Amino acid sequence: MSQRHPSVGIIGAGMSGICQAILLRQAGVTDVTIYEKGADVGGTWRDNTYPGLSCDVPSRFYQFTFAMNPSWTRLFSPGPEIHKYFQALTDRYRLSEIIRFATEIVDARFAGGRWQLTTGAGEQLSHDFLIAATGVLREPRTPAINGLADFDGPVMHSARWDHSVEMAGKRVAVIGTGSTGVQIVCGLADFASRLDLFQRSAQWILPLPNPRYYRWMNPVRRRVPRLSAIGYYTYHLVFEWLAGALIRPGWRRRFMSGACRANLRTVRDPDLRRRLTPDYQPMCRRLIMSAGFYPAMQRDNVHLVDAGIDHVERRGIVTTDGELRELDAIVLATGFDAHAFMRPMSLVGRDGLTLEHLWAQGPRAHLGVALPGFPNFFMLMGPHSPVGNYSLTAIAEAQANHITGWITRWRAGEFDTVAPTRRATDDFNASMRRAMPGTVWATGCSSWYLGADGVPELWPWTPHEYRQRLAATPDINDYDIDSLVTSA
């Protein structure tokens, strides 16, 4: 039987959308279009440009196995370098010819056996397969702080950095102590005349240094690609080890906790140390890696403000103790809506089933990539993907390979449409919930890992087990499959 030629639409030209498009084209799928609402590729690495931005996963592990970069400059490369990596992949794999920039998909519905898409400009499009590569932390969360709009100076979310604002010599507030807030504090401490970090919850910090790589090694790495592979798989083992600390109690967790507590003891002033001490277990929230944070917090121009924010006025922020802290700029490092996924786009599956209806109890996806009632639809970085303190490129690659496998079967004529059954999706979800109590994420803290019901939404086993599940031949009993053979 001759091969069929599927038409595939991918939403998003960020890290995972790029990965998916490359793997599909390498598998011989030629009709692929990426819809990107922005003007450039790179997703989170395009949107986040704040000072101090880097990736806290080692660069040698934050890349694709099919396109290792031999020239990373540091153990944890700065954001612009990572963005350049994805831009370079776009050039190398000639993806610009299949990306439609400035094109937002606002509605996608399954009708007539295909996905019918509508763009923000009202254009109608159609594909056999639809893949949402819309990212995890994309929708900035702006806190409802009284009077924020009254502030005289600039207010910016970390993911919408305004580079026209000069921060050097200014009095700057950073609100939020997640990975982003910590990186911004390290990035601004040298320049701001006064930096106030508004902390609602203290964080555990692992002090990982960020050494430069020797440049003379780059030509050697280019000539011997195996060196990059060795680097990748070494970090892979390290992160599998770390996952062990996250998902079950034991000596690894105690070791990691000890390392965080020892780091905290490097804060010399006992009062500051007390105020920086979290009231939950290390790693319950995403563990922050930073060698520079505690040194920055002990500088004379940097202040920890742990009184709550009462309101903002024209001149600055007023805390609940009545003190006004006069400011020139306010930075909101207040995180993202981690449960938005592809929304606000509207998604409608078979028989009018809406995503809102399917997700009435919270985001659920079979194996993190597929939804019951949504045939020939897949997600990258969907609910329950192992995204906590792990390499998202590694996860994207495993998911994209899995999805490519389904599309390859379609090409061979094995089926017309596929979606996981409701039972398989519910069973998958129930088994994860049963495993959650052993994880550190369920030890009693608030974080973006938790769903509305307070249960963590991450993968509760090792990333290796996740990759194995994705790579295994799918159990067809877990899928509603309309096949050419059975319908003939």
Considering only residues 71, 201, 301, 346, which one is a binding residue for ligand NAP as defined by CB under 6 A?
201
Spatial distance between the Cα atoms of 395 and 390, rounded to a whole number of angstroms: 8
How far the first Cα of the chain sits from its last, in Å, is 15
- The one segment of 27-35, 90-98, 212-220, 331-339 that binds ligand NAP by CB under 6 A: 331-339
Q: Give every CB contact of residue 169 below 8 A, 6+ residues apart in sequence.
A: 191, 192, 193
Whole-number Å distance between alpha carbons of 210 and 213: 9
CB of 228 to ligand NAP, least distance (A): 20
Q: Which of 82, 145, 173, 380 binds ligand NAP (CB under 6 A)?
A: 145
Q: Which is nearer to ligand NAP, 183 or 417 (CB)?
A: 183
Backbone angles phi, psi at 15, to 5 degrees: -50, -50
Binding of ligand NAP by 143 (CB under 6 A)? yes
* Nearest approach, Cβ of residue 476 and ligand NAP (Å): 35
Does 137 participate in binding ligand NAP (rule CB under 6 A)? yes
Does position 175 interact with ligand NAP (CB under 6 A)? The reply is yes
Q: Give the count of beta carbons closer than 10 Å to the beta carbon of residue 245.
A: 21
CB of 309 to ligand NAP, least distance (A): 6
The one segment of 178-186, 292-300, 371-379, 425-433 that binds ligand NAP by CB under 6 A: 178-186
Q: Based on the shown chain and the rule CB under 6 A, indicate whether residue 333 belongs to the binding site for ligand NAP.
A: yes
Contacting ligand NAP (CB under 6 A), which of 127, 157, 286, 384?
Answer: 286
Rg (CA), the chain: 23
Q: Which residues 290-309 are close enough to bind ligand NAP by CB under 6 A?
A: 309
Counting contacts by CB under 6 A, is residue 51 touching ligand NAP? no
Binding test (CB under 6 A) with ligand NAP, winner from 177, 281, 391, 429: 177
Nearest CA to 479 among 426, 404, 409, 425?
425
Position of minimal CB gap to ligand NAP = 178
Nearer to ligand NAP, 106 or 272 (CB): 272
**Six-digit token string for 4:** 């069929």
Footprint of ligand NAP on residues 56-85 (CB under 6 A)? 56-57
Residues in contact with ligand NAP by CB under 6 A are 54-57, 137, 143, 145, 158, 175-181, 183, 198, 200-201, 286, 309, 333-335, 446, 448
